A and B are shown apart, each in its own frame.
Chain A
Amino acid sequence: MREIKMKVNDEWVTGLVKSSTTLLRFLRDNGFTEVKKGCGEGECGACTVLLDGKAITSCLVLAMQADGREATTIKKAGDQLLEALKKAFVKYEACQCGFCSPSMIITARWLLDENPRPNREEIRDALSGNLCRCTGYQKIVDAIDYISRGRNE
């Protein structure tokens, strides 16, 4: 067991972890339950967070690898683009059961950093590691497309 310390949404979080503890487990055990476990093998994307600004599946990162680094979940305050995405998701009803929503929004947030005005094909490509079983992706793409088009102005 070793103690790690990392920044999550602007707060420093410390905890004891085993070598095999994943970043996903570390985050959920420390109260960040908005990060979901869907499969544990990087296939469903429900555990997506930003790690130093890059969208990754936290179930495939060892907590020890994240020592000293920064993670962002959808609960990060003061991020205007994140808030705009959340509003768009509500407006377009891009959440049904909501289980994939935190991960979809975080991946979208990362996408808009890489590509401020993605078209629908680019949005679909960016989301291809995030599974949704309820919505058929339609309104999720619509919501992100709405934000993308807004940034054209």
Chain B
Amino acid sequence: MSDGGIGKAMEKETFYVVGKRLDGVDEKAKVSGSVIYADDFTMDRMLYARVFRSTRASAKIKSIDTTAARSLPGVATVITAEDVPNNRSVTSAVGQSADVGLLQASHHVLAEDRVRFYGEPIALVAAEDPDIAEVALKLIKIEYEALPGVFDPEEAMKDDAPKVHGDNNIIARWKLRRGDINKGFREADVIVENTYQTQFVEHAHLEPESGVAWIDDDGVLNLRVATQVIEQYREIAHILGIPESKVRIRGTLIGGGFGGKEDLTVEPYIALLSWKTGRPVKLTYEREEMMYGRHKRHPYKMRYKHGATRDGKVVAMEATLISDSGAFVYLSPWVLLYSAVHSTGPYYIPNVKVDSYSVLTNNIYTSACRGFGGPQVAVAYESQMDILARELKMDPAELRAKNYLKTGDETGTGQRIESKVLLTKTQEAAVKALGDRSKPRAPYIKVGRGFASCWQSYGRMCYLHDTSSAWVGMEMDGSAVVRCGIPDLGGGQRESLRQIAAELTGVSLERVHVISTDSQVTPLGGTVTATRALFMSGNAVKLAAEAIRHDLLQKASEMLGENPEDLDICDGEVFAAGNRKVRIPLAQVVKAIKSEGNPLEVLKTFRAPVAEPITREIIEGQVFPDFTFGSQAAEVEVNTLTGKVNVTKIAGAYDVGKAINPKRVEGQIEGGIAQGLGYALLEEFIEDKGIPQNVSLTTYILPTSKDVPDIQSIIIESGSGKGPFGSKGIGEPAITATAPAILNAIYDAVGVRIKKTPATSEIVFYHLKERRQNTGEGVNC
């Protein structure tokens, strides 16, 4: 029996909303200043919290005396570790529950007898106003006894190194093994071997970590907080020793995350203080506190060796990756896994040997940061490819083209690439977008160009059995409500859901209300991390909206006497696709359906592709649902008298499968490129024996509007993604290729290879000086 044409009607050919450069509803609220971010929210009788933090990198806490702080008028309470019901917090798998054995990570909510990094939280203060809380911090008396510390990951790997936790500083190891590495290098005509070093980087989202906690009249602990993961309510419940059903996280629209609001930040502190005092408590980090108190991007030391044949086939790749996990594990094992999997670059390489280690030190702890281990290895593999091309006297684009993965190829873990791979197209588009080469504006300026290709997964690791749920319901008057837990970081996560729902239900954009990010009200959509938001929650909304669409078309076809496959819905009207005069208001259809006892509300769960848990150190098989492929090209000016590098032009071209809203995709590419520029040239969080050296925005250098040039963003749509309408993710891929594109451009300009990020003026200057001494070449004079 046929389905009456519904199946055919469900395959959309004409798009009214998806793919259009529509103005977002949330943006209007943002420009009007009416969005209530986490710190903008106040409640009656609210207390203000501060965190008392360690000023030692490795020490025993001999004694701590909070009496003076407690007795200060206006201080409501002071909390230390002994007041925390469950002080050990497990973060082995954020938002899900996979126990992965050795890789189980835990951190202390508050330090017990020992501190392991400068900035480690030791005590919490809540007071009637922020100034009193600040004074209270100064009244806490603490005595430390220095313990030996270790600050370099390679040092920390040695048997006799001071141990940060337990008896082994190596907290994660992953390997790739493919083919026969020795045979591979024997086949190679050219071998290129180098070591690369990347730095600690700060997310530097403009909005500090912030939240307010209170107990509502049902006795439920509410947290209104800027977080990328509302599923953390489970962890809060565990810390307090209360049922998970009694903790509710209401996420706010976030002023930037980039992984900085992915782990627990203020949540445990405001929860504890509110639970203890019975009053609302607000905590907002100071900028300096964000710098030294909250995790950073992992620095990596990467030893790479590539072998290629004379005709440009890469036949062997060997790498050792060492990441600095800092003082606590957090997400280090998974960042390392991402790095290992992505370490080959988007290339088919028959013989691969990768050994990777993540190592504890007494530096600041490291965890999620946009790209999650992808950008670090891209610095290495794209520098290697550029060097290889020059060794082979081959055009760098030609070398890439000969080695890019193709559909059906297997990656370094043996995962088969299912999607189309349009890397050559992205590389050509990015380079072309630079236009004519700029002329040097002064005798001491040299201009150079470089590009880099990259890959970055979207969707979480398959073995986590990721899901995302969404609810779509129609109102009597033909408007619609979407409920989905996914937080919105500013990347328009919510807007994409609105567009998808509007497209499929035919409700006009302004009449679709999206309510999101409430752990007790909205179906859990999962984390906004791992470039999964559109893929997972977009698909969940699509499933729910399609089910609604099905019922709408069915009923409309009865009411209009038309076949369902001849109907479409747009702007609140169901009509015959061939003849707009045949139409009926959507509201009428909705009312008819509801009157027959169909509430026209659908809850759907989208399930990502699954794989077996990764239990061995050698990673094999499908790790991620899919990858986004792209390239970036940069033109730089190098001042040969000072070493300063200025990016004059930059372009990014990505196959995003399908752009739900091209403006938003461009925005991600542009933002990723700006962050990548900072990564390549400006940003480094510096610690000296674990003591932070730059905790202010005057000394942690972010790109300003004068540092980022006009950016060209090019969208390519293969339609072969696993997201809604064939889309892929772009959030993280946008940053992955920038740094190596810039480093390759520097080489093109002045013939020096910088293998360390950031490539500061001083570093470039001394490389130039050395080159002049070695080659006897003058520079500009």
Contact = CB atoms under 8 A, between A and B. Distances in A.
User: Is B truly associated with A?
Assistant: yes
Interface of A: 18, 28, 33-34, 36-41, 43-44, 46, 73-75, 86, 89-93, 95-102, 105, 120, 123-125, 127-141
Interface in B239-258: 253-256, 258
Contact of B671 (A33, A91, A96, A105): A96
Interface string B598-626: 00000000000000000000000000000
Contacts of A98: 26-27, 29-31, 35, 253, 255, 490
Contact of B32 (A36, A86, A138): A86
A75 to B, nearest CB: 5
A74 B28 CA distance: 13
B33 A73 contact: yes
A133 B31 contact: no
Contact of A135 (B32, B205, B667): B667
B31 A74 contact: yes
A138 B203 CA distance: 19
B671 A135 contact: yes
What secondary structure prevails in chain B residues at the interface with A? Answer: loop
A74 B32 contact: yes
Contacts of B492: 93, 96
Given A38-B207, A41-B698, A90 B27 contact: yes
Interface in B514-545: none
A44 B700 CA distance: 12
A93 B27 contact: yes
A128 B696 contact: no
A130 B255 CA distance: 15
A145 to B, nearest CB: 10
Contacts of A89: 27, 31
Contacts of A128: 704-706
A139 B668 CA distance: 11
Contacts of B208: 37-38
Contacts of B131: 18
Given A34-B33, A93-B23, A135-B670, 16 more contacts: A93-B24, A93-B492, A96-B256, A97-B256, A98-B30, A98-B31, A128-B706, A131-B704, A132-B206, A134-B206, A134-B671, A136-B672, A136-B708, A138-B666, A139-B667, A139-B670
A50 to B, nearest CB: 14
16 contacts: A33-B40, A38-B206, A39-B287, A40-B286, A44-B287, A95-B490, A96-B491, A96-B667, A96-B671, A97-B206, A130-B705, A133-B671, A136-B672, A139-B663, A139-B667, A141-B705
Interface in B697-720: 697-698, 702, 704-706, 708, 710-711, 713
Interface of B: 23-24, 26-37, 39-40, 131, 203-208, 253-256, 258, 284, 286-287, 489-492, 663-664, 666-667, 670-675, 696-698, 702, 704-706, 708, 710-711, 713
A107 to B, nearest CB: 10
A75 B32 contact: yes
Given A36-B37, A133-B204, A134-B256, A95 B31 contact: yes
The 5 closest A-B pairs by CB, nearest first: A97-B490, A98-B30, A34-B33, A99-B255, A136-B674
Contact of A41 (B37, B490, B672, B696): B696
B683 to A, nearest CB: 11
A91 B207 contact: no
B673 A136 contact: yes
A137 B704 CA distance: 8
Contacts of B670: 135-139
Contacts of B204: 133
What secondary structure prevails in chain A residues at the interface with B? Answer: loop
A11 to B, nearest CB: 15
Given A33-B40, A41-B697, A136-B708, A97 B32 contact: no
Nearest to A91: B23
A12 B729 CA distance: 48
Contact of B705 (A37, A73, A124): A124
Contacts of B253: 97-98
A99 B256 contact: yes
A74 B33 contact: yes
Contact of A95 (B27, B203, B705): B27
Nearest to A43: B697
B31 A100 contact: no
Given A40-B286, A41-B697, A96-B671, A131 B31 contact: no
A131 B698 contact: no
B700 to A, nearest CB: 9
A95 B26 CA distance: 9
Nearest to B29: A98
A46 B206 contact: yes
B207 A99 contact: yes
A15 B460 CA distance: 50
A134 B253 CA distance: 14
A90 B206 contact: no
A125 B705 CA distance: 7
Which of A38, A128, A140 has the most chain B CB within a 10 Å cutoff?
A38
Given A38-B208, A97-B253, A124-B706, A43 B696 contact: yes
Contact of B706 (A40, A86, A125, A138): A125
Contacts of A74: 31-33
B207 A36 contact: yes
A97 B704 contact: no
A124 B34 CA distance: 26
B162 to A, nearest CB: 35
B702 A133 contact: yes
A129 B183 CA distance: 56
Nearest to B702: A131
A126 to B, nearest CB: 8
Contacts of A105: 31
B708 A137 contact: yes
A127 B36 CA distance: 24
Contacts of A39: 287, 696-697
